[in-house]
Amino acid sequence: MRNWNYQRIFCGLLLCASTASASDEPKVRLIATGGTIASGRAGSLSATELKEHNPELNDIAELSVEDYLKIGSSRMTPELQFGIAEHVNELFRDEPDLSGIVITHGTDSLEETAFLLDLLLESDRPVVFAAAMRPPHRSDTDAPRNLVNAVRLAAAEGAKGLGVLVTLNDEFHAARDVRKTHTLATNAFASPGLGPLGYFDGESIYLARRPARRLTLLVDSIEPRVALIRLFAGSDGSQVRAAVATGQRGIVLEVFGRGNVPPDVMDAVGDARAKNIAVVFTSRTGGGRVLLDDGAKRAGVVSGEDLDGLKARLVLVAALGTTSDPEKLRSYFRRLSGKLEE
């Protein structure tokens, strides 16, 4: 049983003025990119078909739809993710009366696309990612419920300022915190150590907390050449050297514990830094902050704080398009860590 202190985002209260007539309904855009949520027996469902299969959506918002991509999210790339972010920002600039945006997406890389978009989002209006662990043609599918919840959240006035959100299993999570933690369970998406931002109860939405650890980067380009390497017993630095040899401009190293790195690996890191390749340390444990020793600091390594490797990589993907200055990069990770200024 949840025991949080909830603030209620209830459409009957906060949106009562906007539901007085059909013309005053909140406007929501549904952008389809593929994934299990749109997986039909004969192929991927279009955005129009998703809307037609879920007529309840018409009672929540004035819903416009578009097909942006039709791919499994294991095929997602930083370039495609950046394109989604640019498209969302353009929609919000061009349509000031748009209440929010829903993006349907596969679960394989959902946490990555959502977080990159959160880093690049220019508007305070909500963007909600909807996904499913079980396809629509199964009797136990979670697809309709997740999509309806996403549209309801995107239409809610009280969702402004929450950033990019991810909803499954009657919960919604901050893009900065959410992870896929299971291969098939309907509660696969969680925010370890923090919990969801809130949850749905019928037509009501309850907010438990507001995301305090957000960063907005205004960039014209990204740098997709960022490697993610996990240390293991016997790591000798060869993977770091291979990343340098293949032209990577950034390396995120998931190190042991709180920041432990074997000497041979540190030698390879030093060589990478000598070539002005950005290097970020995160912990392979998946929880807790990384502390840098004096050698790593002298080499210009950046602490990823408590971000996991996937999220730390995306900070570099977004930031390296404009800067590789270690101090600037440190400021970004400090902002995302939530550290209070002294």
Task: List CB contacts of 342: < 8 A, sequence separation 6 or more.
Answer: none
pTM over 0.85: yes
Strands 43-44 and 127-130: unpaired
Task: List CB contacts of 84: < 8 A, sequence separation 6 or more.
Answer: 31, 33, 68, 69, 103, 113, 117
Q: Cα separation of 256 and 261, whole Å?
A: 6
Nearest CA to 221 out of 106, 104, 85 is that of: 85
Half-sphere exposure of 85 (CA within 13 A, CB side): 28
Q: Which residues are designated catalytic?
A: 36
Where do we find the tokens 């499994």? 72
Do domains 7-207 and 226-337 share one topology? The answer is yes
DSSP bridge partners of 129: 103, 166
Q: What is the pLDDT of residue 23?
A: 55
> Could you tell me the CA-to-CA distances from 28 to 66, 91, 267 in Å, in that order?
11, 11, 52
Q: 290, 282 in Cβ contact below 8 A?
A: yes
Q: Cα separation of 97 and 67, whole Å?
A: 21
Q: What is the pLDDT of residue 298?
A: 96
Domain with residues 226-337, CATH architecture = 3-Layer(aba) Sandwich (3.40)
Q: What is the pLDDT of residue 41?
A: 79
Task: List CB contacts of 229: < 8 A, sequence separation 6 or more.
Answer: 239, 240, 243, 251, 252, 253, 254
Nearest CA to 31 out of 112, 86, 108 is that of: 86
CATH of 7-207, one of 3.40.50.1170, 3.40.190.10, 3.90.420.10, 2.60.40.2220: 3.40.50.1170
CA 23 to mean position of chain CA atoms: 32
How many of the other CB atoms lie within 10 Å of CB of 33? 26
Residue range 2-56, pLDDT digits in tens: 444 445 554 433 333 333 344 589 999 999 999 999 998 778 899 999 999 999 9
Nearest CA to 36 out of 165, 164, 142 is that of: 142
Q: What is the pLDDT of residue 299?
A: 96
Residue ranges, the chain, pLDDT below 70: 1-23, 342
Q: What is the pLDDT of residue 295?
A: 95
Spell out the domain ranges in the chain: 7-207, 226-337
